Structure 1
Amino acid sequence: MEARENKMGTMPIGKLLATMSGPAILSMLINSLYNIVDSIFVAQIGEKALTAVSIVFPIQALLVAMGVGTGVGLNSLISRRLGARRFQDADDAASCGIKLGVLNWLVFAIFGLFFSEAFMKIFSTDQTVIQYGVDYMQIITIFSVFTMTAMICEKIFQATGNMIVPMITLIVGAVINIILDPILIFGWFGLPEMGVSGAAAATVIAQAIGCALGIFILIKKDHAVNVRVFSKDFKLRTIKDIYAVGAPSIVMQALGSVMLFGMNAILASFSGTAVAVLGVYGKLQSFVFMPAIGVNQGALPIMGYNYGAKNRERMMRCFKLAIIAAMSIMALGLLLFQFFPGLLLSMFNASDNMYTIGIDALRSISWCFIPAGFGIVAAGLFQATGHGMMSMWGSMIRQFVGILPLAFIFGKLFGLRMVWFAFPLAEIIGVAYYIIVLKYIYNKTFKNLGVEE
């Protein structure tokens, strides 16, 4: 046991962060690419199909919130236990995480099976939109076991410093999804034309193959943790430790879904096209946010490991470098959205009305990118060090003190064009919160980390 060494405690931080974040950034970019491609193909069916998928997107986001939140808690726990050289406890956490992923899937499978139509009717009275949404949602949710399990495996690998395997599984899934999308949507090679259902089926098949590959590597290869998928151990203390960080992360990301529900309702009062524009923005912004999240994914286990090892200098050095990298990525995204909004919209078969609304929307919302980069990494530091509640409160403040109230007020007073400015103003509020809390936690906890009593 004592022989288990880890590069997160020894390699120079700059090189380590680049090594850890590089594969994660590439993975996130490819993941974003196939999300965008998916919507591009759906848009060819028509604007109603795109509107339906946009309405369903908050449910997908909630599904991802549950999987990623559980994974973040697992990642934080494993990396801290490895840093503290509690190897058996790290093994127990990894084994428990797989089982939690399956339990999470059951919740969404039941929702998709019995409540899809009722959900769609909340946001639309158009029967075509409703049917498109029901077809898409049921496939995505009922077969989400692959998504849930894949996200847990990804976080286990990342917690041990292995960023290559998650990259490979994501790339495999992305390539398969891009290939299958037009085949299943439009009925190529003699297959039946499935339309919106084909987009969902392509996603599920791709996720299943990526998940199977991840589980195979996790079980068959040697890693810093040993996973026992079929063990009967399911310790309440381990679950509690995972969700001490994971639950706030789930709530934090779930709040994003609730925010999207609210935004869809606000925008639907203007037009269905405005809802579709928000959906398009959600896909496009992922191409900017996901690489920044990739930086955070690379940084999180490094910060967690060195926090567990009581090495403040390495932990804070990683945090500062991650901030610089994330905000630089966001700055490039801002330039892209400011100068080429029409080109971005043209990929989605945009109507004249969508161009009119969308160009204003993309330019206005994208001012949130740079402050959001700071918030992503600050939240990651809190999660990595077991202060997940601080991240949750930050998300609540941004979305429920910021985005939704501001969007509602701006919409009532000034019309649709001002609604989009709720996003950057909310991120500025979030930055103020994170700076205050970071200073508090640093003085209370980090400042004396590793100092002998």
Structure 2
Amino acid sequence: MSENAKLASGGITGHLYSQTAPMIVGVAAMMSIGLVDAYFIGQLGSTPLAAIAFIFPITVAISSLGVGVMVGINSVVSRALGAGDMDRAHRRASFGILFAIAIGIVFAVALYSLADPLFRLMQADPETLPLIRTYIQPFALGLPLLLATMGVNGVMRAQGEARKTLMVSLTFAITNWILDPILITGAFGFEGFGIAGAAYATIIGWACGVACAFWLLGRTKLTFRPRYAARTDPVGSTKEILKVAAPAAFSNAINPIGLSVLTALVAIEGQAAVAGFGAAGRLQSFAVVPLLALSGSIGAIVGQNWGANKPERAREAFAKAAMFCVIYGLATALILALTADYIAGFFTDEKAVRQQFVSYVYIAAWGYAGFGLLIVGNGVLNAVDRASFALLQSAARVFLIMMPFAWLMRGSMGADAIYTAELIANIVGGACAVLLVWWTLKAKSALH
């Protein structure tokens, strides 16, 4: 075991807390951007709010693909650190960052080119589509900045530098908080750009975030050095990263892809349903922040212990994380169910939109615990080089449970069928994730 693998010794509970607590703040800051966007865009009217509802699953899907790249870098670097191979860790870290930037360029070209047909496929109407276009085109051009940040964060997470990744997230978020009211609705005599202003604020935030990320990375043991990347076999390194990153990216993207399909189904019920569904989705993204943070932090803990040949510590980390998911998920669902109508008032005064918001929260919130178990389970599977298992269970949750139920029951239940489909998929998906992860960790430990 390397002395640089600091998560492979000491108390598991302490590591879970020290790695997750900063990430909770960081992820909350990131997710708050969506809420702030929705608040100021909601002041422009229900049509811009509906446009954001169409955009939301696509931006989440892109971010999820980027997270997959980050997870791949995290996995190969943390296992190298656990095994004590610092030279390999240096090479994989620097190459991984360059790889992430290249992926960002590919994403940017694809989204910019395919935006119109994509949103038409999602049933965006002629009134909403121009608003979508004014946001998505500048957003697409900024994606290399986002992926660069994720590449650097992957390297820092692998080292257990959760506090540094927190600083990156806060830099990005604070920039957005300041710029959103100015660039969207206007301030200080400036009229604002409307919905496009949200995209401009995001891009400027990414630029500040990536500058902060590289500055902080320079203060870790695995700094970015092109010469390290030059000594790396590009084909072999790409395969190693993609072995985890590809299934992890698609696993992370499957949920927003499913959300895109659900949004298209909700659109059949009318614009009010789309606006309410989209606003409630933003709230949900914020409510599950601790679960998302935990799913991100557990990878480095499990990865370093797996690389250090300590499978019993990996199992302990998952068991404690799963317990937290259940307790937090159920408690949050209860709180939101009691306050849903009050919270809806922050987004809109339109009665029909508020009714859809409340209906979604009443039903879907009870699946948060299951969703937490699923994404934490995926974090563990990615860390132990079983990303294909994570992809399989994520795909089954969406394509075998959520989408078929929503489609079959929509005629009799309307939009409630879509909300119920998400609830059932999360409960079943969480239960299956627990069984699959525990079996994987037990089966592999028998080989040690």
TM-score normalised per structure 1: 0.94
The change in CA–CA distance for 1:3 and 1:427 in structure 2 (over 3 A counts) is closer
1:293 maps to amino acid? L
> In the TM superposition, what are the counterparts of 1:156-171 in structure 2 within 5 Å?
156-171=155-170
Distance 1:272 1:344 in 2: 20
- SS of the equivalent of 2:347 reads coil
The change in CA–CA distance for 1:143 and 1:421 in structure 2 (over 3 A counts) is same
Q: Does 1:227 align with 2:227?
A: no
Q: Which residue of 2 aligns with 1:419?
A: 418
The change in CA–CA distance for 1:5 and 1:123 in structure 2 (over 3 A counts) is closer
Distance 1:63 1:407 in 2: 24
Give the Å deviation of 1:47: 0.9
User: In 2, are the aligned partners of 1:124 and 1:130 still within 8 Å (CA)?
Assistant: no
Give the Å deviation of 1:125: 5.8
Q: Which runs of 5+ in 1 are unaligned?
A: none
User: In 2, are the aligned partners of 1:74 and 1:94 still within 8 Å (CA)?
Assistant: yes
> In the TM superposition, what are the counterparts of 1:312-391 in structure 2 within 5 Å?
312-391=311-390
Give the Å deviation of 1:234: 5.5
1:379 maps to amino acid? N
Q: Which residue of 1 aligns with 2:193?
A: 194
1:241 maps to amino acid? E
Give the Å deviation of 1:4: 4.2
CA displacement, residues 149-182 of structure 1 (integer Å, 9 cap, x when unaligned): 1111112111101011110111121111011001
Distance 1:300 1:110 in 2: 30
2:96 maps to amino acid? G
Q: Which runs of 5+ in 2 are unaligned?
A: none
> In the TM superposition, what are the counterparts of 1:247-286 in structure 2 within 5 Å?
247-286=246-285
Q: Which residue of 2 aligns with 1:35?
A: 34
Distance 2:308 2:247 in 1: 24
TM-score normalised per structure 2: 0.95
Give the Å deviation of 1:438: 2.8
The change in CA–CA distance for 1:379 and 1:170 in structure 2 (over 3 A counts) is same
1:351 maps to amino acid? E
Give the Å deviation of 1:210: 1.0
The change in CA–CA distance for 1:125 and 1:87 in structure 2 (over 3 A counts) is closer
CA displacement, residues 174-214 of structure 1 (integer Å, 9 cap, x when unaligned): 11101100101122224342000101111111111011110
Distance 2:430 2:123 in 1: 35
Distance 1:169 1:324 in 2: 29
Distance 2:10 2:434 in 1: 28
Q: Does 1:174 align with 2:173?
A: yes
Distance 1:277 1:86 in 2: 51
- SS of the equivalent of 1:222 reads coil
User: In 2, are the aligned partners of 1:120 and 1:134 still within 8 Å (CA)?
Assistant: no
The change in CA–CA distance for 1:306 and 1:40 in structure 2 (over 3 A counts) is same
> In the TM superposition, what are the counterparts of 1:51-62 in structure 2 within 5 Å?
51-62=50-61
Give the Å deviation of 1:21: 0.9
- Give the RMSD, CA atoms, in angstroms: 1.8
Give the Å deviation of 1:116: 2.3
The change in CA–CA distance for 1:7 and 1:442 in structure 2 (over 3 A counts) is closer
Distance 1:150 1:171 in 2: 13
Q: Which residue of 1 aligns with 2:47?
A: 48
> In the TM superposition, what are the counterparts of 1:148-163 in structure 2 within 5 Å?
148-163=147-162
Which stretch has the larger CA shift, 430-439 or 391-400?
A: 430-439
User: In 1, are the aligned partners of 2:2 and 2:81 still within 8 Å (CA)?
Assistant: no
- SS of the equivalent of 1:347 reads coil
Give the Å deviation of 1:298: 1.9
Q: Which residue of 2 aligns with 1:75?
A: 74
CA displacement, residues 78-107 of structure 1 (integer Å, 9 cap, x when unaligned): 111110111111111111111122211222
1:27 maps to amino acid? G
1:348 maps to amino acid? F
Q: Which residue of 2 aligns with 1:237?
A: 236
The change in CA–CA distance for 1:10 and 1:106 in structure 2 (over 3 A counts) is same
Q: Which residue of 2 aligns with 1:396?
A: 395
Which stretch has the larger CA shift, 245-254 or 111-120?
A: 111-120
User: In 1, are the aligned partners of 2:370 and 2:428 still within 8 Å (CA)?
Assistant: no
User: In 2, are the aligned partners of 1:295 and 1:325 still within 8 Å (CA)?
Assistant: no
2:95 maps to amino acid? C
User: In 1, are the aligned partners of 2:315 and 2:438 still within 8 Å (CA)?
Assistant: no
Q: Which residue of 1 aligns with 2:20?
A: 21
Distance 2:185 2:347 in 1: 16
Distance 1:296 1:227 in 2: 25
The change in CA–CA distance for 1:117 and 1:418 in structure 2 (over 3 A counts) is closer
Give the Å deviation of 1:373: 1.8
User: In 2, are the aligned partners of 1:98 and 1:229 still within 8 Å (CA)?
Assistant: no
The change in CA–CA distance for 1:50 and 1:444 in structure 2 (over 3 A counts) is same
The change in CA–CA distance for 1:364 and 1:94 in structure 2 (over 3 A counts) is same
Distance 1:259 1:142 in 2: 25
1:23 maps to amino acid? P
The change in CA–CA distance for 1:124 and 1:402 in structure 2 (over 3 A counts) is closer
- SS of the equivalent of 2:188 reads helix
- SS of the equivalent of 1:191 reads coil
1:81 maps to amino acid? A
Distance 2:434 2:118 in 1: 38
- SS of the equivalent of 1:189 reads coil
User: In 2, are the aligned partners of 1:62 and 1:253 still within 8 Å (CA)?
Assistant: yes
| Residue identity (%) | 25
User: In 1, are the aligned partners of 2:4 and 2:82 still within 8 Å (CA)?
Assistant: no
Distance 1:403 1:292 in 2: 20
1:138 maps to amino acid? Q
User: In 1, are the aligned partners of 2:8 and 2:305 still within 8 Å (CA)?
Assistant: yes
User: In 2, are the aligned partners of 1:361 and 1:417 still within 8 Å (CA)?
Assistant: yes
Distance 1:354 1:128 in 2: 18
The change in CA–CA distance for 1:382 and 1:126 in structure 2 (over 3 A counts) is closer
1:221 maps to amino acid? R
Aligned length: 446
The change in CA–CA distance for 1:182 and 1:15 in structure 2 (over 3 A counts) is same
Give the Å deviation of 1:3: 7.4
Distance 1:117 1:374 in 2: 35
